[in-house]
Amino acid sequence: MAAQDHYSEGEIAAVLAMPPMAAFFAYTAGKRNEMVATLRQTRAELARVAVAEERLRIARDLHDLLGHSLSLITLKAELSRRVISTDTERAGREMAELEAVARQSLSDVREAVAGYRQPDLAAELGAARQLLTAAGIACQITAPQVLGLPGDVDAALAWTIREGITNVVRHARATSVAITVTSDRAAVVAEITDDGPGGDRCPAGLDPGPLAGSGLAGLAERVRGLGGDLAAGYLQPRGFRLGVTIPVGGVAIPVGRAAGVRDR
């Protein structure tokens, strides 16, 4: 009788435990399904963000690359046309350089699309001198021969030189340009100053450009990504200055922020 009573109690306990256990398993299965759905949604969202960021990178790189290269190609084509009737030898040299620039531009575009393009500061300083000379603009470049900068910082400064000089040639109507690169243990600074007109038109600075992936706005994104600071604005009584400071070993001191930036 006692054994029968004990068996009945165990059976009762099992029957009483089954509904809560079934509810628990059902709850955990539902949560697992919700988690899987959330993970899938998150993965899809991350994929969309990655695609958007890659499109922005390509647009920004192509703008910066082609702006400089096409400006140089245009200048050399114009120069070749002017001298071809009076100095065929010089016209031939200019056309040969034009072809070389076009080929390099095509290679740069392919590398940018593939994600491999990283400009070099020393090379961009040389290219800046070449572009300014072709445009008939006097230039003075002051920079250490060896900086030993991290790759991403060197690339950001190279983009700064490229964007700044492209803007000078396109818009500044300047006769001279000064490019200065300095560094210390805390930060590296690159500044481009020209003597073009325009100080009276916008003495308080500039507003951000409407397209975040182009021009100085795109450059500002690169610099901010490295914890740096970008300042651009007209000078008095004339001229324009673009300055970039990027920390390399400490906290960078801003170069004098204007109200905002945009392409001139």
State pLDDT tens for residues 72-128: 888 878 888 888 888 888 888 888 888 887 887 777 777 766 665 567 888 889 888
Sorted by where each begins, the domain ranges of the chain are 1-117, 121-264
How much is the average pLDDT of 175-191?
92
Using pLDDT thresholds of 50, 70 and 90, give the confidence band for residue 245.
Answer: very high
pLDDT at 138: 93
Find all residues with CB under 8 Å of 73, minimum gap 6, and list them.
98, 101, 102, 105
Is the pLDDT at 212 greater than 60? The verdict is no
Is the pLDDT at 251 greater than 60? The verdict is no
* H helix intervals, the chain: 2-83, 88-114, 121-134, 151-167, 215-225
pLDDT at 179: 95
Percentage of residues in the chain having pLDDT higher than 70: 72
Find all residues with CB under 8 Å of 24, minimum gap 6, and list them.
none
Using pLDDT thresholds of 50, 70 and 90, give the confidence band for residue 257.
Answer: very low
Using pLDDT thresholds of 50, 70 and 90, give the confidence band for residue 191.
Answer: very high
State pLDDT tens for residues 127-156: 888 888 888 899 999 988 777 888 889 989
Q: Which of 108, 204, 239, 229 is nearest to 162 (CA)?
A: 108
pLDDT at 8: 64
Q: Are 214 and 258 in contact (CB under 8 A)?
A: no
Fold classification of 121-264 is Heat Shock Protein 90 (3.30.565)
pLDDT at 101: 79
Residue 252, both tokens: 């960078």
DSSP per-residue codes, 114-169: HT-----HHHHHHHHHHHHHHTT-EEEEE--S-----HHHHHHHHHHHHHHHHHII
**CA-to-CA distance for 215 and 205, rounded, in angstroms?**
16
Total Cβ atoms within 10 A of residue 247: 16
Is the pLDDT at 187 greater than 80? The verdict is yes
Fold classification of 1-117 is 1.20.5
**Lowest mean pLDDT, pick from 134-143, 154-163, 190-199, 250-259:** 250-259
What pTM, to 2 d.p., does this model score? 0.56
State pLDDT tens for residues 5-41: 445 666 766 667 777 777 777 778 777 777 777 777 7
